[in-house]
Amino acid sequence: MKYGHFDDEAREYVITEPQTPRPWINYIGRQDYVGMISNTGGGYSFYQDPRYRRLIRYRYNNAPRNVGGRGLYVRDAESGEYFSPTFQPAREPLDDYEARHGLGYTTIRGEKDDVAGEVTYFVPPGEDLEAWRVTVENNSDESRNLQLFSLVEFCLWDAVDDSSNYQRNYNTGEVEVEDSVIYQKTEYRERRNHFAYFACSADIDGFDTQRDAFVGQYNGFDEPAVLEDGEATDSIAHGWSPIGSHQVDVELEPGESEEVVFLLGYHENPQDDKWAEPGVINKEYVEETIEEYLDPAALDESFTELEEFWADQLSALQVETPDPETDRMVNTWNPYQNTVTMNLARSASLYETGLTRGIGFRDSLQDQLAVLHQFPDRARKRILNLAKIQLKDGGAYHQYTPLTGEGNADIGGGFNDDPMWLVMSTAAYVKETGDTSILAEEVVYENEPGTEEPLAEHLQRAVEYVRERRGPHDLPLIGHADWNDCLNLNCFSENPDESFQTAEHDVEEERAESVFIGGQFVYAVEELAELADQTDLLPESAEEYQRYADEMADAVADAGWDGAWFRRAYDHFEDPIGSSENDEGQIFVESNGMCGMAGIGREDGKVQDAMDSVRERLATEHGIVLHQPAFTEYDERYGEITSYPPGYKENGSVFCHTNPWIMITEAKLGNGERAFDYYKRICPAAREDISDVHTTEPYVYAQTIAGPDAPTTGEAKNSWLTGTAAWNYVAITQYILGVRPDHDGLVVDPSIPAEWDEFSVHREFRGATYEITVENPDGVESGVDRVEIDGDTIDSQTIPDLGDGEVHDVRVVMG
Ligand code: BGC
Ligand code: IFM
């Protein structure tokens, strides 16, 4: 069952039924001001930090869900009937409803009894505010006496305090109303000097700022007292729960409509004006902005700017394939999700509260892989920022706090895969841009802020970190965990009555090993070897790095091989995990994907065997699950992974992040059919028809899809902020369609379904544009017979880096 459809031309997802199985959201704003808008107008907003600068309250685990925060109501003053054009919060059934999620904006339209309300939400580029452009329309044949009510439920800045410290925050709330602007100035008198405003373009007929006055003591947002009575109370909040609500009376003749603009904005005084008079907000800072953006003409202009921004962002890579679902993901939705994920890391969604997590080292480095061609400069900056939370021993803090840039000491380090992602992403950055100067950038270490070393040295330390921390099988020590946060193997006793995971222990005693990191090391250090061929900025030679990689590959091929697939790890007692010797967790996808991508043992058939085993044991119609069999009981020796019921999250769900590793490996083996088949199994657009099963948005990837061991198999969870987006984009564009940046140019090496007879890729690369057409006259899955550039055949699969600002026609004939 579907709840809408794609409008490919407009690059919008159109939702035609408000009661989607979960809130289906969109993100607005991409710099400091960020908001989430659901298909019923819910969600929340913040400035820079979703915890400390939260503007709108959101109740994460609420029933009915996704209510509060934002609201719009249209009321007929004569009949007293009212509805929300966004369906919620009034939840009055609508005669007509449509929500359009576009790139950086959402438009929702609802009609009832011949009155329509339409609202477009977006953040004008460069501004710290969200605009709601609301139009009320009289589609009946009589004049109507209507009232529009807005609603914003302010969060008192620190979102944790907001939901925990009521003895304080029921007293701190302060507001001010001047003309049509409601100022939320809570805590302004304290040290922070920031305030929010909720402005309206119309002369208002009333307002409310105290929630309980608006809602009524015993009503909900679906039947607020003010809507029941038809009149705002002009309440001023003194403590309790400040809100902003305007009442605008609108008289409309038949066929007439009226636009009203609302602005929810944030302001922070400049540093030199930090200590304003206590309690007196500096409205003069925002007056001009408010006036400017209440004017629809200014909003038109910034909306055009927003559209141009996105057109430009997407223009570097566009494709045309025989598969429309692939096209809509690759051309629009996947890069859109990549950008949102790059901006927010894993911090704020409807599932990530923004209260506890910062920017993850591992996560954010992987996010860069997909945006390098879109905004290489921002990616460069982020890579260098991340390198700052590396530790001098080559390890890294696992996360940093965006407001301060400091490593998160509560979580610390000890995730032993972390350093390798720095190597992988830096190498990918250089392949895209050719800019080796990043390696010379001086970067500090988190634990030695006084010591700056070139990024090249950071990479070297990353390599040494893994090389120096190896266990009894010469495989890398896993530390607290590798990519799989929940595989926690350093448990020090086999006695189940003792609590080992939590016991204080000396890191020196940790012995559990990771085959996954072994594969990752081979992959990353071979990249480093290639990089060393390009530049002498790295401390060691290509041969030396290759020797390290080969050494590790031998250890993996030896102790990491189970006979038909790669093992996953060894626990503290040297017992294998991910082996046919185990009862549960016999085979894991991660190590097979990573060792497969690294090509370990490819020459003697190991990679192909591993892929066959994955297909036989892990591939389901909803994607490839993490492992089989799933763990049925909590087992301290494996840690958090066994805390999940079978089929969920790290315990055997389709953890979508890992699937592209298999797609890439299959593509590298030339198995185009399989690679693409896996791509389609988890492709959100391809799952649109089973939206009632999948439940999350059909236009973005979710982190997990419940595996076959789960009672709700096929159900997705935790959509939007996931490394799944970046890796799937890499898999489809670089390995299946096969156009990938390399140091000397763009490699063209497709691995596609045999029945595809042609596809094309528009790719901008280092200043030139390549219009690539791939023909497949013999119906093969892989293999390239001929490459022509501007009519001339070249003797290679690599389109040279022409860098001449020109457009070049590239014809590739497979065979
Ligand atoms: C989740 C992981 C997550 C980790 C850190 C665990 O409970 O299962 O997916 O990465 O927490 O937040
Ligand atoms: O690899 C992690 C990621 O860093 C955060 N989400 C879960 C993944 C698997 O545990």
Which pLDDT band, with edges at 50, 70 and 90, does 30 fall under? confident
Are 465 and 459 a contacting pair, CB within 8 Å?
no
pLDDT value for 192: 66
Residue located via tokens 């003792």: 498
pLDDT tens for each residue of 586-605: 999 999 999 999 999 999 99
Q: Could you identify the residue written with the tokens 């987006």? A: 725
Cα of 151 vs its chain's centroid, Å: 28
H or E segment to which residue 425 belongs: helix 418-433
Helix (H, G, I), strand (E, B) or coil at 501: coil
Cα of 638 vs centre of ligand 2, distance in Å, is 16
Per DSSP, 475 falls in state: P
| Ligand showing the shortest atom-to-Cα distance for residue 418 | 2
**Predicted pLDDT at 608:** 98
In this structure, what DSSP letter does residue 479 have? B
Residue type, 83: F
Q: How far is the CA of 486 from the centre of ligand 1 (A)?
A: 7
Identity (one letter) of the amino acid at 346? R
- Ligand 2: lining residues by beta carbon, under 6 Å: 360, 362-363, 483-486, 650
Identify the residue with better confidence: 281 or 708: 708
pLDDT at 536 over 90: yes
- Residue nearest (by alpha carbon) to ligand 1 atom 10: 485
Among 796, 791, 784, smallest CA distance to 808 is for: 791
Cβ atoms within 10 Å, residue 219: 15
Please give the distance, rounded to the nearest whole angstrom, from the Cα atom of residue 320 to the centre of ligand 1: 37
Question: How many whole angstroms from 483 Cα to the centroid of ligand 2?
Answer: 6
Ligand 1 atom 5: the closest Cα is on which residue?
Answer: 485
Inter-residue contact 630 to 646 (CB < 8 Å)? yes
Model pLDDT, residue 501: 52
pLDDT value at 511 more than 90: yes
Q: Is 156 helix (H, G, I), strand (E, B) or coil?
A: strand
| Cα 530 to Cα 545: distance, rounded to the nearest angstrom | 9
Nearest atom within ligand 2 for CA of residue 346? 5
For range 403-423, the mean pLDDT: 90
Instruction: Give tens-digit pLDDT for 318-331.
Output: 999 999 999 999 99
Among 131-145, 184-198, 692-706, which stretch is predicted with the lowest mean pLDDT? 184-198
584 DSSP assignment: S
| Amino acid letter, residue 294 | L
**Ligand 1 center from residue 724 Cα (angstroms):** 15
Taking CA atoms only, the protein residue closest to ligand 2 atom 4 is 363
pLDDT digits (tens, 9 = 90+) for 564-577: 999 999 999 999 99
Which one of the listed residues 485, 533, 757, 801 is annotated catalytic?
485
CB-based burial of residue 149 (10 Å sphere; 0-12 exposed, 13-18 middle, 19+ buried)? buried
CA dihedral 407, 411, 414, 415 (to 10 degrees): -90
Written as one string, the DSSP assignment of 120-144 is EEE--TT-SEEEEEEEEEE-SSS-E
Bridge partners (DSSP) of residue 519 are none
At which residue do the structure tokens 């003069």 appear? 284
102 CB-contact burial (10 Å; exposed 0-12 / middle 13-18 / buried 19+): buried
Give alpha helix (H) positions in 535-683. Answer: 542-559, 589-598, 606-617, 659-668, 672-682
d(CA 808, CA 791): 10
Task: Indicate which residue's Cα is closest to atom 9 of ligand 2.
Answer: 484
Give residues with Cβ within 8 angstroms of 507, minimum separation 6.
414, 479
Phi/psi at 762 (5° precision): -100, 120
CA-357 nearest atom, ligand 1: 12
Atom 11 of ligand 1: nearest residue by CA position: 485
Mutate to test the pocket of ligand 2, among 344, 356, 657 (most ligand atoms within 8 A of CB): 657
pLDDT digits (tens, 9 = 90+) for 155-181: 989 999 999 999 999 999 999 999 999
For residue 625, how far is its CA from the centre of ligand 2 (angstroms)? Answer: 15
Tell whether the model's pLDDT for residue 273 goes beyond 80. Answer: no
Ligand nearest to the CA of 481: 2
Query: Could you tell me where the DSSP H helices lie in 235-374?
Result: 284-293, 296-314, 324-328, 334-344, 361-368
Candidates 356, 415, 418, 485: which one to mutate for ligand 1, based on the most atoms within 8 Å of Cβ?
485
Q: Residue 119 in contact with residue 43, Cβ under 8 Å?
A: no
Mean pLDDT on 509-516: 94
Q: What is the mean pLDDT of residues 192-217?
A: 95
Mutate which of 356, 398, 418, 485 for ligand 2? The one with the most ligand atoms within 8 Å of its CB, which is: 485
* Residue-level pLDDT at 508: 75
Nearest listed ligand to the Cα of residue 657: 2
Nearest atom in ligand 2 to the alpha carbon of residue 362 is 4
Pocket test for ligand 1, best of 347, 486, 626 (most atoms within 8 A of CB): 486
Helix axes 589-598, 515-534, angle to 10 degrees: 20
Q: Which residues contact 305 (CB under 8 A, 6 or more apart)?
A: 124, 125
State which amino acid sits at residue 708: P
Distance from the alpha carbon of residue 723 to the mean position of ligand 2, in angstroms: 8
Nearest Cα neighbor of 430 from 380, 505, 494 is: 380
Residue 5 phi/psi, 5° resolution? Answer: -160, 165
pLDDT greater than 70 at residue 274? no
- For the segment 760-783, the average pLDDT, to the nearest whole number, is 98
Ligand 2 centroid, distance to 649 Cα (angstroms): 10
Q: Is residue 503 over pLDDT 60?
A: no
Identify the residues whose C-beta falls under 6 Å from ligand 1: 485-486, 640, 649-650
pLDDT at 495: 62
Contacts of 577 (CB under 8 A, 6+ apart): 487, 489, 567, 568, 569, 570, 571, 585, 588, 638
Beta strands per DSSP E along 412-545:
442-445, 448-454, 513-514
Q: Which ligand is nearest to the CA of 484?
A: 2
Report how far residue 418's alpha carbon sits from residue 400's, in angstroms, rounded to the nearest whole number: 13
Angstrom distances, CA of residue 542 to CA of 521, 525, 536, 686, 771: 15, 9, 10, 43, 33
Give me 510's structure tokens. 């940790």
Instruction: Report yes or no: 775 and 813 within 8 Å, Cβ to Cβ.
Output: yes
Distance in Å, CA 653 to ligand 1 centroid: 13
Residue 722 alpha carbon, nearest atom of ligand 2: 6
Domains of the chain: 4-310 (2.70.98.40), 358-456 (no CATH), 470-617 (1.50.10.10), 739-814 (2.60.420.10)
Lowest mean pLDDT among 255-269, 403-417, 626-640, 792-806: 403-417
Q: How far apart are CA 686 and CA 4, in angstroms?
A: 13
Provide CB contacts within 8 A for 584, sequence distance 6+.
Answer: 629, 630, 631, 632
Query: Out of 279-283, 552-556, 611-615, 764-768, which region has the weakest mean confidence (pLDDT)?
Result: 279-283
Average pLDDT over residues 366-372: 98
Which residue's CA is the closest to the ligand 1 atom numbered 4?
485
Alpha-carbon distance of 631 to 320, in angstroms, equals 42
pLDDT at 22 over 70: yes
The region of weakest confidence among 11-20, 135-144, 399-408, 447-456 is 399-408
Q: Which of the residue ranges 72-86, 479-493, 776-790 would you say has the lowest mean pLDDT?
A: 479-493
| Mean pLDDT computed over every residue of the chain | 95
Determine whether 635 is an active site residue: no
733, 372 contact by CB (below 8 A): no
The residue nearest atom 1 of ligand 2, judged by CA position, is 483
Question: In the chain, what percentage of residues exceed pLDDT 90?
Answer: 91
543: CA distance to ligand 2 center in Å? 33
pLDDT at position 505 is: 62
What is the C-alpha separation between 754 and 178, in angstroms, rounded?
Answer: 67
pLDDT band for position 272 (cuts 50, 70, 90) = confident
C-alpha span between 737 and 180 (Å, rounded): 54
**How far is residue 505's CA from residue 75's CA, in Å, rounded to a whole number?**
64
Q: Which atom of ligand 2 is nearest to the CA of 363?
A: 4
Q: 779: number of CA atoms within 13 Å, CB side?
A: 1
State which ligand 2 atom lies nearest to the alpha carbon of 483: 1
CA distance 270 to 286: 12
Report percent pLDDT > 70 for the chain.
98
Residue 270 CB burial class (10 angstroms; 0-12, 13-18, ≥19): exposed
**Mean pLDDT in residue range 188-203:** 88
Instruction: Give the Cα-Cα-Cα angle 269, 274, 275 (nearest 5 degrees).
Output: 130
Distance of alpha carbon 481 from alpha carbon 568, whole angstroms = 12
What is the C-alpha separation between 357 and 345, in angstroms, rounded?
Answer: 9
